[in-house]
Chains A and B, each alone.
Chain A
Amino acid sequence: MAQVTNRLTPFFENITFDRDDNELILNFGPQHPSSHGQLRLMLHLQQEQIVKAHPDVGYLHRGMEKMAENMIYNEFMPTTDRMDYIASSSNNYGFALSVEKLIGLEVPRRAKVIRMMLLEINRLMSHLFWLATTALDIGAMTIFLFAFREREYLMDIIEGYCGARLTHAAIRIGGVPLDIQDSFIEQLRTFLNKLPENIKDYEDLLDTNRIWLMRMEEVGTISKEMALSWGCSGPMLRASGFAWDIRKEEPYELYDEVEFNVPYSDKGDNYARYKIYMQEMRESAKILYQTIDMYQECVKNNETELMAHAPKYISAPKLDIMTQNYSLMQHFVLVTQGMRPPVGEVYVATESPKGELGFFINSQGGPYPYRLKLRAPSFWHTGILTDLLPGHYIPDVVSIIGTTNIVFGEVDR
């Protein structure tokens, strides 16, 4: 091949000098380490103060909705991992639940308990990751190391369960593929028993830390109206004064059987969001303790089913497939052609660690979804930067992006 000159010659696009109004345009990203992915921000500055912000997204766009229209339902499951890759089981779950609602499946209790365990472990992983990276952006290196150490334990447990650390694909439509391994509960207990003192360590380091408070308090305040108007959800909404948690208000799985609180604050600033993340970790631990009890009850009652029984949609257990001809035929059809959910529409929202993760599915009765819309919370939590950043100073941008907890796999999909 002939050598062709590359046209991407460097030029200084970051700074525009010749403007009359003394306004400076700063191009922040798309490769800035504190933008947590491929976020590009065009900031109009008066001295250090931002007067206009223009977030530009799409650098990680893979067209997942398009891919979904060309995949059978089960095939799309590993793709959902790549949305919010910090807590990938919660995406798996959101998709599985919406398809189950569409075809009206009831999942066995033991699978529900395992799913709840996975979901809460994912929430802990996500919140620990959030704490680590946000604290690192603000300059607290120790917290980063501490929180990543804890997250590592959780990833080990998940790895023991499904073999993957980041992209789990651990949940199936109709249940879970595997029972938890023998060491799972013991490892989880060890972790949970240690967690309160770990969280206390973080809080001791941060709560009264002068730098942390200066960067967090009264910075990035989201008013109630703004939170509603921008479709905020999850911790972003709860920090602005709404005690709205989908696990509580529209319970799915067995969340109506477990006891937990919904922490909220009416301050709406970075610090409020930080406190909510810390509190939510404690609540997740509370839920996990209860799910361990529920799991052991399932074992005691000899409830061994892990997948729903619906031969039209879900393959039979492996043993049946290997021993019974009809199960094998069903399995063959479901793998090669895919399940065909009924004609209809469903929008199912679940509380992912980032906020309201919604799956809108329009099915025309075929094995491919006719339209699948992914409602990713981070998309609007990025959009809100347009209105949130003006008035703040450049260092605040970093802490605000940190506390909005956006993940670009999810924003760009």
Chain B
Amino acid sequence: MRAYTPKDDVQAKSYYTDRYYVAPQVPKQDVSTDAVFAADLAAISAKFKVSDSYIQVGQMVVYINAKDIYGVLELMRDELEYTQLSEMSAIDFLAKNNTFEIFYQTLSMTKRKRIRIKYSIENGQAVDSVEKLFRSADWSEREMFDMFGIEANGHPFMKRILMPYDWQGNPLLKTYPLEGDEFAAWYEVDKIYGKEAREAIGPEIRDTARVDRYDSERFSRLGFEVPKGTEITGNEPKNEQSYQEDGGVFLIKKLDKESSVVVDDPQR
């Protein structure tokens, strides 16, 4: 039987995988192997429910409940000295089990340790804002909202940050195609020229690899160049052009190596 691949994930996928290929795992260590992490985990799990925890590539990963996030980060900041929130964002697992995984990457400068706090939320569920604890979450929660559409409860300014305010769609979802959707193709045309100009201009070509050689307005007509404004019929004669000057390049003929100075010392 063929392996199941979710159809609504439109990102690039490997076109061939050996049917017996089993992906190796990045090794995980038990938390008890590191005394500092073990103490931190004990402090967290004394107050909150921890569903899973391990050490991977030198950092502890702790899975908690979504509703506990504010409390956990407050405890970590005030009592465990994890004073910086380096990064937070989401991972889209909608195609797999209709959830997002949210991660918070924290740093303790006194202990020289990093802990990653993670939890899952259902599609459409909001997270609790930790902006009151870490101001850096102000912008990263906005970015998460922009990219995934996950709202943060209690955030003072839940607006898009990287995309325009009137954008539709969330670019980092796996269902969002790389070159943008229908809305993206018309966005600039509508904005600059108005909807009534759609017919005259056409959608924005967002596939960067596409070359329409009969398009003189937008891109290239290599070998079929016509003056601007000419009506294009599609059966213009091929117009060969040579870019080499007759008899070689004028300047190079005159270059005399004997009397020239070759500068090869950049410290001159």
Contact = CB atoms under 8 A, between A and B. Distances in A.
Interface of A: 1-2, 4-8, 57-58, 61, 63, 65-67, 69-71, 101-102, 104, 152-153, 156-157, 187, 190-191, 194, 226, 228-231, 233, 242, 244, 249-250, 337-338, 340-349, 356, 358, 360, 362-368, 370-371, 373, 375, 379-380, 383-384, 386-387, 412-413
Given A7-B194, A383-B138, 5 more contacts: A70-B12, A228-B83, A347-B114, A360-B89, A360-B105
A102 B27 CA distance: 10
B261 interface: no
Closest 8 CB pairs of A and B: A344-B26, A365-B23, A231-B136, A58-B162, A156-B266, A342-B24, A70-B12, A383-B139
B25 A57 contact: no
A190 B267 contact: yes
A231 B84 contact: yes
Given A8-B192, A66-B172, A383-B139, A157 B86 contact: no
Contacts of B24: 342-343, 365
A341 B23 CA distance: 8
Interface string B134-151: 111011000000010000
Contacts of A380: 136, 139
A372 B59 CA distance: 17
Contacts of B16: 337
B103 interface: yes
Contact of A387 (B87, B135, B197): B135
A104 B193 CA distance: 53
A342 B25 contact: yes
B177 to A, nearest CB: 9
B267 A153 contact: yes
A256 B32 CA distance: 27
Nearest to B105: A347
Contacts of B193: 4-7
B121 interface: no
B11 interface: yes
Interface of B is mostly: loop
A368 B23 contact: no
B197 A4 contact: yes
Interface of B: 11-17, 23-28, 56-57, 59, 61, 83-87, 89, 91-92, 103, 105, 107, 109, 112, 114, 116, 134-136, 138-139, 147, 160-164, 171-172, 176, 178, 191-194, 197, 200-201, 217, 266-267
B138 A191 contact: no
Interface of A is mostly: mixed
A130 B84 CA distance: 26
B13 A346 contact: no
Contact of A360 (B14, B85, B87, B92): B87
B25 A368 contact: no
A338 B14 CA distance: 9
Contacts of B86: 231, 233, 347, 349, 356, 358, 375
29 contacts: A4-B193, A7-B192, A7-B193, A57-B162, A61-B162, A69-B11, A70-B178, A102-B26, A157-B266, A190-B267, A230-B136, A231-B86, A233-B86, A244-B109, A338-B14, A342-B23, A342-B24, A342-B25, A343-B25, A344-B56, A345-B56, A345-B61, A346-B26, A347-B59, A358-B105, A362-B91, A383-B135, A383-B139, A387-B135
A326 B217 CA distance: 49
A392 to B, nearest CB: 18
A371 B91 contact: yes
Contacts of A190: 267
A249 B84 CA distance: 15
Contact of A187 (B15, B56, B160, B267): B267
A232 to B, nearest CB: 8
B183 to A, nearest CB: 15
Contacts of B138: 383, 386
A368 B176 CA distance: 16
Contacts of A363: 26
A330 B64 CA distance: 42
B217 to A, nearest CB: 6
B122 to A, nearest CB: 18
A187 B176 CA distance: 49
Contact of A368 (B13, B89, B107, B163): B13
Contacts of B176: 66
A393 B249 CA distance: 57
Contacts of A349: 86, 107, 114
Contacts of A71: 12
Contacts of B172: 65-66, 69
Contacts of B17: 366
B7 to A, nearest CB: 16
Contacts of A368: 11-14
A7 B195 CA distance: 11
- Most chain B C-beta atoms within 10 Å of own C-beta, residue among A69, A233, A250, A380: A380
- Most chain B C-beta atoms within 10 Å of own C-beta, residue among A6, A66, A338: A66
- Most chain B C-beta atoms within 10 Å of own C-beta, residue among A70, A156, A190: A70
Contacts of B135: 226, 229-230, 383-384, 387
A358 B87 contact: yes
B161 A58 contact: yes
Nearest to A103: B26
Contacts of B114: 347, 349
A67 B178 contact: yes
Nearest to A370: B91
A15 B178 CA distance: 38
Nearest to A63: B171
Nearest to A5: B193
B200 A375 contact: no
Given A244-B109, A375-B105, A347 B116 contact: yes
A231 B85 contact: yes
Contacts of B192: 6-8
Contacts of A67: 178
